[in-house]
């Protein structure tokens, strides 16, 4: 018999040193906190070697830290075997629990020195070596320890001497022992879970979250597809697509306008410096013209300044001369001069008269002498008079001759000046005529050229160039579209091929695994039937009556014979087979029941694993397809965008071509009109130029005639003036001759008088008084005249000076003044003409400058408008366009383009608002988690546009059918998955039912007489709604699996009933899962475990809870019996090779039982080779236990364990 015989604590927990014997029923007594649970957990750790399943609260120290606080801490287990003893040393190294198996019973001297100090682990090895005791190597893993302890060490045969039993399915024992200690409630759920966890390390579960994940939105999915296919929704979707397409085109047009705006801005930035340069140049040209005008004016003024000064002097002189003339006219200067000119004559006459007076007054003279003197005096007077007149005549001749020469010189000079002035004017007119002749010839040539031209312009040529490029551009775009569509088709085919390969790979994988599942299911059915039928088989008879038969008759007996039910057998002497002792050198592995159970468990696990693998593979397939779809969409999206842009560009190309064709016609008409206007303008300029040329020729002819006339006039004037001078000289001569003749006549008359007087004197002999009176009167007159002459002499001198200096020059001055006035007038006229030419040039420059300044102003306004537009939203949202330096041709300017863009953006905003309303109304029919993953809330316009584009693509590619197919496949797969999971769960009910049957049989076979007459358990169908639905879905799938596989959600009339039933089942499952609070359906949920207890003839019937069977003690008694029977079942099934071993069962609650029942339950356990250990504060039935230990704390809070009673067998 093998069993745990002793446990020894050395510096472990709060125990310095203590040995606790475990070879019988043990009772630990002591107050709370003295260490009873510490000992129970240490014993449990011997069996389960699992620090996580000892019931240690998480807030307390771990097993390692609490039980092994020191380097020399250790716990030693002594195990009894049929062939001796061995001990298990557990100690801590590097914070890990290690084991060492020692082939020796426990001896304190192996672990403690003479002074009671524990040996460290290395020292223990030395001591063992010194004593020649065999021991194992350090066992550092719990799993290896358990395999050695429970004899599951096929590869470590050397450790078989350290095994408590020989079993490969010992886990049920471990789980049951720890569950008995750790669970205190006796309810069906807990017992079920104890049985399940005792059978399997990991509880079998169905993850409802997986079903929820698969069926999430199932109702919504069906509803979404139905809503999507409604005619009204299709119309809305078409409207959204149309509206979004319009918005996209508007956006492209806005982008094109933005590029034009960018090009216009760059062009503006380019022309601004050029305009500034041209303005500066034109300003310089204008300044030069102004300077030229000022220069012409200055030069003209310089040329006329002298003449104007001379003219002013002449005018002043003429004014003064006129004033003198008026003054001298007032003085009757001519009369005064005539009187003054007679001075000498008067003086001579005076002298003559004085002589005559003297002679006439003289009485002493003779008459003949007097007469002779008088005659002589007359002759002298006449001679003097003639001399004076000759002198006057000579003076007049000299003066007139001088004046004649002066006038001749004057007119010569005038003719020379006239010729010179006419020559200069003629030269200017000739130059001007040449210039105008050249201009007329140039205009005629330009007219001829203009008439020969067909009419063109840069804009027209540009339009022609664009029209010439349209066909090439169209072909390029069509080629680009074909290439893009080819690439799109290629990508689509690649995607479809890759998706098909994924489906094919999954299908192959699913088919191969389905075949494996079918094979495993068939094997499980076979194993289940095999195990269910083995109860009455030869195998079962051998197991009961012939221990160790596997090594004898099992070596030659066929499994069909072993597990057949038609047999007769009896035990003979020795190992005989039909009377023959059998020995073979060949060892045959004969499967035990445990082997079949293990094989069944492995098959179930494989099937569950394959099912999980298929489910995971399906999820991976969906994920891979979704990933592939995303990759495809990400790869084809730019291609589709390029196709859309190219088609839009092709469309715009046709529009622009049509516009350019209209523009070309208009430009041709405009060019023809401009050509005609140009010809008309040139003809007008030609007419004007010819008129000017004719005028110039007329001016030349006029100038020549004028010059001829002026010369003729000057000749005539000269001739007239010279004739006048000749006449004046002739008149002067005649006047002097007449005066001399008169003088002679006067003197002759006087001589005659003297002759008569001589006769009379001779007669009278005295003078003549009358004569004297006449002489006296004449002398008085002459005296007066001489006085007048003397008084007027100064005036005459002044007059003669003024006449010489001024009055005589008045004609010359007048002529010169007229000449200067004509010259000045001509200069001014010439200045006017030249200034007019300069002013025309200035006007032209001003016009050009005005145009340049206007263009510059507009350019600056355009630039300013562009800079202002940078603050607008549509500008900032298209930063990439406006950061480009590429120039786009445009006919617009920044202002007009900004205005047009703003208007289009406003229109687009309205369209976007309409789109938002349409999309909001459309998506309002879908939930947030709709099957199509349609967005139902959008943060910006881009998301709205993306949705519209995705919707259009969704409709164009008929993706709803793909979703419908995918949903069909997925929800068909869920049926298969539920069927597989449910089948796996249902298949495990047999194992549990077998355990329950064994427990019931165990109670009937080995019950003790007491108050409990009957304990029975029963497996009933589960009342869990989800479980029942899963079973119904399994049955439905098994019946309609072909229909479901074809099309679960088909809409044909033949499949309507199946589809409605499938849909109803899934809806009910979803509803039940929603109402279910958990995420897991455990194996325990697949059946209900009920108890029936008869206590003192009180029959509880089959109920789920035994908490109210009777008193508290009765409940504990029932629970203890159930746990003991459960442990016994697993103990009995643990190994068919060796079954002679005992186990410990720790039950803390049996201390509450009546002493009679304590003795009964102890016997109930011992009859099944189970030793009970329990603890309580006090002892009530000392004789029921083999060992009683009392635990208490010493003064240092160390636990002292004192054995109170030991009963010997």
**How many Å apart are CA 772 and CA 362, to the nearest integer?**
11
What is the pLDDT confidence band of residue 318, given thresholds at 50, 70 and 90?
Answer: confident
Q: Mean pLDDT over residues 802-820, rounded?
A: 80
Q: Mean pLDDT over residues 78-101, rounded?
A: 93
> What does residue 385 show for φ and ψ, rounded to 5 degrees?
-65, -45
Buried b (16+ CB within 10 A) or exposed e, 953-963: ebbeeebbeeb
Average confidence score pLDDT of the chain:
80
pLDDT for 768? 63
Q: Mean pLDDT over residues 1109-1136, rounded?
A: 73
Q: Mean pLDDT over residues 852-874, rounded?
A: 87
Q: Mean pLDDT over residues 314-320, rounded?
A: 84
Three-class SS of 382-443: HHHHHHHHHHHHHHHHHHHHHHHHHHHHHHHHHHHHHHHHHHHHHHHHHHHHHHHHHHHHHH
Q: Mean pLDDT over residues 441-467, rounded?
A: 76
pLDDT for 166? 80
pLDDT for 253? 86
What is the pLDDT confidence band of residue 1049, given thresholds at 50, 70 and 90?
Answer: very low
What is the pLDDT confidence band of residue 154, given thresholds at 50, 70 and 90?
Answer: low
Q: DSSP code of 940? A: S
More confident residue, 1154 or 107: 107
Share of the chain above pLDDT 90, in %: 10
Q: Mean pLDDT over residues 617-625, rounded?
A: 79
Q: Mean pLDDT over residues 760-782, rounded?
A: 69
Q: Mean pLDDT over residues 958-966, rounded?
A: 78
C-alpha distances in Å from residue 705, one per residue of 418, 713, 1209:
12, 12, 180
pLDDT for 580? 41
**How many Å apart are CA 213 and CA 194, to the nearest integer?**
30
3-class DSSP assignment, residue 66: helix
Count CB atoms within 10 A of the CB of residue 1108.
Answer: 11
Assess contact for 460 and 626: CB atoms under 8 A: no
**How many Å apart are CA 899 and CA 810, to the nearest integer?**
81
pLDDT surpassing 80 at residue 1114:
no
Assess contact for 328 and 799: CB atoms under 8 A: yes
**How many Å apart are CA 298 and CA 295, to the nearest integer?**
5
Rounded to two decimals, the pTM is 0.48
C-alpha distances in Å from residue 978, one per residue of 989, 1032, 1034, 1065, 1200:
17, 10, 7, 12, 58
Assess contact for 1017 and 1087: CB atoms under 8 A: no
Selection from 79-93, 695-709, 813-827, 1079-1093 with the highest mean pLDDT = 79-93
Q: Mean pLDDT over residues 767-781, rounded?
A: 75
Selection from 119-123, 170-174, 362-366, 386-390 with the highest mean pLDDT = 119-123
What is the pLDDT confidence band of residue 111, given thresholds at 50, 70 and 90?
Answer: very high
Contacts of 326 (CB under 8 A, 6+ apart): none
Token pair recorded at residue 741: 């003749």
pLDDT surpassing 90 at residue 87:
yes
pLDDT surpassing 70 at residue 696:
yes
pLDDT for 26? 92
| pLDDT tens figures, 2-20 | 999 999 999 998 999 999 9
**How many Å apart are CA 563 and CA 457, to the nearest integer?**
112
Buried b (16+ CB within 10 A) or exposed e, 689-703: bbebbeebeebbeeb
End-to-end CA distance of the chain: 15
3-class DSSP assignment, residue 1135: coil
Q: Mean pLDDT over residues 908-933, rounded?
A: 86
What is the pLDDT confidence band of residue 582, given thresholds at 50, 70 and 90?
Answer: very low
Instruction: Pick the closest to residue 378 from 66, 853, 22, 754 (CA basis).
Output: 754
pLDDT surpassing 80 at residue 782:
yes
Q: Which of 150-154, 684-688, 1135-1139 has the lowest mean pLDDT?
A: 1135-1139
What is the pLDDT confidence band of residue 28, given thresholds at 50, 70 and 90?
Answer: very high
pLDDT for 5? 95
Break the chain into its structural domains and give their ranges.
Answer: 3-183+1142-1206
| CATH code linked to domain 3-183+1142-1206 | 3.40.50
Contacts of 668 (CB under 8 A, 6+ apart): 455, 460
pLDDT for 1034? 86
Beta strand pairing status for 15-21 and 3-12?
antiparallel
Selection from 160-169, 183-192, 598-607, 836-845 with the highest mean pLDDT = 836-845
More confident residue, 574 or 1190: 1190
- Tallying the residues shown for the chain, one arrives at 1209
Selection from 130-139, 653-662, 666-675, 807-816 with the highest mean pLDDT = 130-139
Count CB atoms within 10 A of the CB of residue 63.
Answer: 19
C-alpha distances in Å from residue 807, one per residue of 328, 329, 1046:
10, 12, 145
Q: Mean pLDDT over residues 527-550, rounded?
A: 62
Beta strand pairing status for 576-577 and 74-81?
unpaired
pLDDT surpassing 80 at residue 1119:
no
pLDDT for 1110? 55
More confident residue, 1030 or 882: 1030
pLDDT surpassing 80 at residue 259:
yes
């Amino acid at each position: 018999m093998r069993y745990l015989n002793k446990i020894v604590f050395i510096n472990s927990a709060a125990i310095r040193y203590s040995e606790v014997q475990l070879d019988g029923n043990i009772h630990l007594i002591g107050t709370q906190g003295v260490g009873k649970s510490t000992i129970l957990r240490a014993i449990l750790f011997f069996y389960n070697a699992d620090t996580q399943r000892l019931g240690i609260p998480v807030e307390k120290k771990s097993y390692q830290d609490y039980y092994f606080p020191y380097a020399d801490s250790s716990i030693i287990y002594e195990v009894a075997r049929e062939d001796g003893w061995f001990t298990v040393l557990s100690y801590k190294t590097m914070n890990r629990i290690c084991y060492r198996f020692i082939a020796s019973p426990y001896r304190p001297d192996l672990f403690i020195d003479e002074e009671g100090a524990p040996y460290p682990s290395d020292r223990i090895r030395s001591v063992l070596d010194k004593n020649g005791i065999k021991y194992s190597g350090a066992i550092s893993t719990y799993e290896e320890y358990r395999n050695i302890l429970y004899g599951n060490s096929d590869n470590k045969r050397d450790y078989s001497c350290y095994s408590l039993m020989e079993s490969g399915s010992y886990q049920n024992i471990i789980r049951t022992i720890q569950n008995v200690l750790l669970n205190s409630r006796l309810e069906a759920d807990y017992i079920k879970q104890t049985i399940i966890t005792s059978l399997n390390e990991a509880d079998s579960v169905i993850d409802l979250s997986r079903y929820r994940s698969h069926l999430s939105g199932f109702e919504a999915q069906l509803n979404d597809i139905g809503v999507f296919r409604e005619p009204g929704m299709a119309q809305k979707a078409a409207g959204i697509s149309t509206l979004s397409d319009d918005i996209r085109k508007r956006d492209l047009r806005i982008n094109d306008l933005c590029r034009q705006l960018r090009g216009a801005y760059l062009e503006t930035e380019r022309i601004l410096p050029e305009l500034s340069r041209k303005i500066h140049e034109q300003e310089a040209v204008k300044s030069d013209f102004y300077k030229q005008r000022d220069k012409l004016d200055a030069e003209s003024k310089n040329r006329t300044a002298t003449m104007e000064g001379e003219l002013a002097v002449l005018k002043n002189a003429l004014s003064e001369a006129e004033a003198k003339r008026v003054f001298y006219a007032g003085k009757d200067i001519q009369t005064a001069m005539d009187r003054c000119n007679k001075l000498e004559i008067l003086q001579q006459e005076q002298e003559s008269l004085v002589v005559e007076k003297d002679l006439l007054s003289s009485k002493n003279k003779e008459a003949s002498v007097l007469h002779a003197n008088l005659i002589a005096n007359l002759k002298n007077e006449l001679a003097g008079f003639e001399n004076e007149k000759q002198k006057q005549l000579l003076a007049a001749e000299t003066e007139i001759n001088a004046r004649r020469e002066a006038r001749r010189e004057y007119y010569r000079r005038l003719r020379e000046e006239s010729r010179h002035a006419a020559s200069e004017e003629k030269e200017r007119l000739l130059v001007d005529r040449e210039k105008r002749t050249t201009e007329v010839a140039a205009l005629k040539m330009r007219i001829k050229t203009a008439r020969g031209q067909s009419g063109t312009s840069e804009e027209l040529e540009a339009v022609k160039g664009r029209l010439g490029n349209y066909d090439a551009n169209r072909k390029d775009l069509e080629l680009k579209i074909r290439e893009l569509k080819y690439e799109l088709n290629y990508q689509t085919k690649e995607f479809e091929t890759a998706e098909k390969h994924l489906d094919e790979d999954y299908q192959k994988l699913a088919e191969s695994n389905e075949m494996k599942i079918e094979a495993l299911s068939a094997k499980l059915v076979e194993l289940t039937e095999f195990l269910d039928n083995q109860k009455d088989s030869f195998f079962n008879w051998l197991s009961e009556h012939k221990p160790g038969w596997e090594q004898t008759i099992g070596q030659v007996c066929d499994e069909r014979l072993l597990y057949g039910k038609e047999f007769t057998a009896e035990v003979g002497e020795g190992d005989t087979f039909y009377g023959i002792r059998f020995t073979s050198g060949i060892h045959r592995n004969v499967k035990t029941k445990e082997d079949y159970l293990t094989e069944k468990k492995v098959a179930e696990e494989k099937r569950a694993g394959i099912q999980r693998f298929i489910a995971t593979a399906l999820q991976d397939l969906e994920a891979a397809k979704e990933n592939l779809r995303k990759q495809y969409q990400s790869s084809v999206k730019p291609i589709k965008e390029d196709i859309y842009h190219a088609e839009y560009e092709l469309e715009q190309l046709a529009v622009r071509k049509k516009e350019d064709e209209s523009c070309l016609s208009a430009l041709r008409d405009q060019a023809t009109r401009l050509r005609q206007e140009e010809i008309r303008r040139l003809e007008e300029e030609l007419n004007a130029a010819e008129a000017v040329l004719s005028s110039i020729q007329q001016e030349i002819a006029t100038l020549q005639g004028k010059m001829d006339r002026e010369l003729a006039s000057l000749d005539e004037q000269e001739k007239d003036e010279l004739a006048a001078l000749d006449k004046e000289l002739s008149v002067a001569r005649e006047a002097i001759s007449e005066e001399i003749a008169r003088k002679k006549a006067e003197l002759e008359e006087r001589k005659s008088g003297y002759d008569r007087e001589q006769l009379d004197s001779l007669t009278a002999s005295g003078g003549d008084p009358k004569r004297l009176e006449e002489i006296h009167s004449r002398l008085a007159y002459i005296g007066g005249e001489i006085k007048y002459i003397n008084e007027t002499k100064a005036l005459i001198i002044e007059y003669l000076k003024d006449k010489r200096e001024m009055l005589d020059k008045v004609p010359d001055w007048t002529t010169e003044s007229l000449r200067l006035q004509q010259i000045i007038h001509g200069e001014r006229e010439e200045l006017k003409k030249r200034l007019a030419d300069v002013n025309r040039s200035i006007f032209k420059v001003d016009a050009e400058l005005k145009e340049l300044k206007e263009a510059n102003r507009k350019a600056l306004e355009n630039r300013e408008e562009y800079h202002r537009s940078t603050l607008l939203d549509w500008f900032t949202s298209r930063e990439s366009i406006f950061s480009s330096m590429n120039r786009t041709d445009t006919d617009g300017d920044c202002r007009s383009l900004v205005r047009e863009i703003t208007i289009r953006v406003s229109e687009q905003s309205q369209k976007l608002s309409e789109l938002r309303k349409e999309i909001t109304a459309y998506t309002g029919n879908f939930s947030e988690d709709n099957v199509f993953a349609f967005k139902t809330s959008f943060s910006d316009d881009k998301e709205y546009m993306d949705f519209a584009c995705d919707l259009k693509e969704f409709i164009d590619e008929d993706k709803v059918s793909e979703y419908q197919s995918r949903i069909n496949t997925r929800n068909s797969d869920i049926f298969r998955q539920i069927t597989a999971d449910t089948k796996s769960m249902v298949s495990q009910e047999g194992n549990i039912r077998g355990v329950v049957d064994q427990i019931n049989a165990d109670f009937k076979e080995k019950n003790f007489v007491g108050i409990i007459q009957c304990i029975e358990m029963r497996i009933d169908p589960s009342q869990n709604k989800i479980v029942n639905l899963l079973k119904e879905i399994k049955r439905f799938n098994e019946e309609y699996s072909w229909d479901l596989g074809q099309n679960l959600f088909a809409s044909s009339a033949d499949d309507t009933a199946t589809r409605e039933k499938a849909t109803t089942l899934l809806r009910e499952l979803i509803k039940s899962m929603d109402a279910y609070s958990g995420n897991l359906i455990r194996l325990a949920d697949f059946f209900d475990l009920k108890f029936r207890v008869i206590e003192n003839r009180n029959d509880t019937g089959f109920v789920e809870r035994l908490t109210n069977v009777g008193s508290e003690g009765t409940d504990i008694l029932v629970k203890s019996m159930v746990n003991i029977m459960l442990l016994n079942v697993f103990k009995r099934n643990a190994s068919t090779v060796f079954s002679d071993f005992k186990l410990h069962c720790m039950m803390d609650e049996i201390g509450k039982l009546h002493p009679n029942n304590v003795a009964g339950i102890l016997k109930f356990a011992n009859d099944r080779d189970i030793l009970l250990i329990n603890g309580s504060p006090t002892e009530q039935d000392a004789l029921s236990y083999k060992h009683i230990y009392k635990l208490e704390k010493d003064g240092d809070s160390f636990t002292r364990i004192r054995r109170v009673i030991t009963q010997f067998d």
